[in-house]
Amino acid sequence: MALTEEPHVVHRTEAQELWMAGFEDREGNHVQLMNEVDTSG
């Protein structure tokens, strides 16, 4: 898999951040990974 989009914040609230990163698999399909991070402490 090749990284096509660096991890970055796409949405932020007081309670959480939503991060996404893009990859391309061996067959040329685009894949997005998402991570929700709790920032409420």
Structural domain including 15 reads 2-38
Mean pLDDT of 14-40: 96
Residue 1 has pLDDT above 80, yes or no: no
For 32, phi then psi, to 5°, come to -110, 130
User: What DSSP line would sit under 3-38, residue for residue?
Assistant: EEEEEEEEEE-SSEEEEEEEEE-TTS-EEEEEEEEE
Mean pLDDT of 14-38: 96
Neighbours of 20 (CB within 10 A): 15
The total number of structural domains in the chain stands at: 1
Average pLDDT value over all residues in the chain: 95
Task: For residue range 6-21, list pLDDT tens digits in order.
Answer: 999 999 999 999 999 9
Mean pLDDT of 13-41: 95
End-to-end Cα separation, the chain, in angstroms: 34
